[in-house]
Amino acid sequence: MIVKSRAIVISALKYGDSSLIVKLFTEQSGMRSYMLKGVRASRKAKLRSGYFQPLTLLDIVARHKDKGTLEALTEARLLAHFQSIPFQPAKTAVAMFIAEILSQSLREEESNIPLFNFLSEAVIWLDSHDKIANFHLSFLLQLTRFLGFYPHDQNPHLPFFDLVEGDFTDSAENTVIPEDLIGVFRAFLGTDFEGSSQIYMTKTERRELLNLVVMYFKLHLQGFQNPRSLLVLNEVFN
């Protein structure tokens, strides 16, 4: 079946001397993996290896057999030309971190247009804004809406947030976001990327809250592991 779709690059793995295995989140078919034979062998290749950097937005044409094997990508063109993500180390680190989060979180091979729109808008925001120190925290919390475990906020006045139950609480029996971080955590809920960029945090608060939000993902997504890029990201913003 020939499929035409918008897509977001999640990862690209070198295969052999000249090929790539790429993972894309597509608007029409969800998460898919493709074999790109010979794409690294020649600058004249029909598909350019430079198109497959984390979070690159593409228009693709593909052949899907839907048999659980690697699919075939026949055409790809850039949907957006990044102005800053590939050239600013902090943004590159954020892109790698987000791509790794998505690689672990998104598994369904089916269309989810609202999620695709959220992801593409987030990538464009990251590329076009300068105040990005809180972007990854805002992104993770907004992503949980689509994954089914967005924090409940019926009792936002309570002093802790229970990571297991996903709700504010007055008890610290389970793993919680503590009182000294609950104010900044609460500030992220219900706000967008622009609003989150105005939240003041110390470097220590940002690092500790990020580690707790990653733990929140681990508690609610089976098989989720600490992203390898987490350490790099913490170092960048310290």
CATH numbers and ranges of domains, the chain: 1-81 (2.40.50.140), 83-238 (1.20.1440.120)
What is the Cα–Cα distance from 236 to 238, expressed in whole angstroms? 6
pTM: 0.93
Per-residue pLDDT, 51: 92
> Across the 238 residues of the chain, what is the mean pLDDT of every consecutive 10-residue run?
95 90 96 88 73 96 85 92 95 96 94 97 97 96 97 90 95 90 94 96 94 97 94 83
What is the Cα–Cα distance from 233 to 238, expressed in whole angstroms? 9
Per-residue pLDDT, 44: 57
Q: Specify the DSSP element, H or E, that contains 3.
A: strand 2-15
Please give, one letter per residue, the 3-state secondary structure of 100-161: HHHHHHCCCCCCCHHHHHHHHHHHHHHHHCCCCCCHHHHHHHHHHHHHCCCCCCCCCCCCEE
What is the Cα–Cα distance from 198 to 46, expressed in whole angstroms? 43
Per-residue pLDDT, 65: 86
Cβ atoms of 160 and 182 within 8 Å: the answer is yes
Cβ atoms of 209 and 201 within 8 Å: the answer is yes
Per-residue pLDDT, 79: 93
